[in-house]
Structure 1
C-alpha cells in the first residue's frame, strides 16, 4: 500500500515522506540577494514604526516548499509576534516582495506588537496626566 502513495519516496533517491529535490524551487544568486534585501527592508520599516525597546529580526530559510521569509518582533513585555510567508518565485520582476506587501507586513507586525504590550499591561498602569 505504501508504494502507491506520493509519500512513499523513490527507492535510492528520496526518503519516504520527503519531497524530491526537483520539486523544491531553487533560487539564483540574484534572487537570494533580492529576497534578503526585501526582508531587510521589512524589518527596517517595522523598526521605524516602533520605539527602540522593541527587537525586530528577520530570517530567510528554506522549507520543504521553497524559500520561507520570517520577520519577528519581540516587544518589551508580552508575547513575540511574527509574520512568515513564501514569496512568489514565478514572478520574474525586479522585486520578489513588492513595496505594498513590505509596508503591509511592517504595519501589521508593528500593530500586533503594540497590541501585545497593551494586553500585557492591561489597566494596571496609572495615567501620569489627564
Structure 2
C-alpha cells in the first residue's frame, strides 16, 4: 500500500481525470488516500458537483477496500449536505476544542456496535504523538 495526498482542484473535470488515473493505476486494497477539504471543493465546484463526485467516489473507494480521509469545516455546510456526506461514509469523527482541551467524538463507525466507541474523549498532541484519554 502507499499513501498519496489527493489535491483539490478548481477545475472539477481536471480533478475527475486525475482521480480516474489514480483509480486505474494505483488503487489496490489497503491504499490510503488523503483528500483536501470537502469544504474547499464545495467552494470551488459548487455543492451539487461535490455531492455528485462524493456520491461516486466514496462507494468506489469502499469497494476497492481503501481508506480515504476527508475533512469538512465545522458549521460551514447546511445540515442536509452534512447528513448526505455522513450517510455515505463508514466513519465520521468530530474534533472539537473547548477551554484549551481537545476532544474526539466518533459519530459513526460502520459495523462497530460497542457503545464505548461513541464516547466523547479528550486527546492530547505532543509533537507527532496523539494520546487519547
Relative to the length of structure 1, the TM-score reads 0.25
The structure whose RCO (Cα within 8 Å, separation 6+) is larger is 1
TM-score scaled to structure 2, two decimals?
A: 0.25
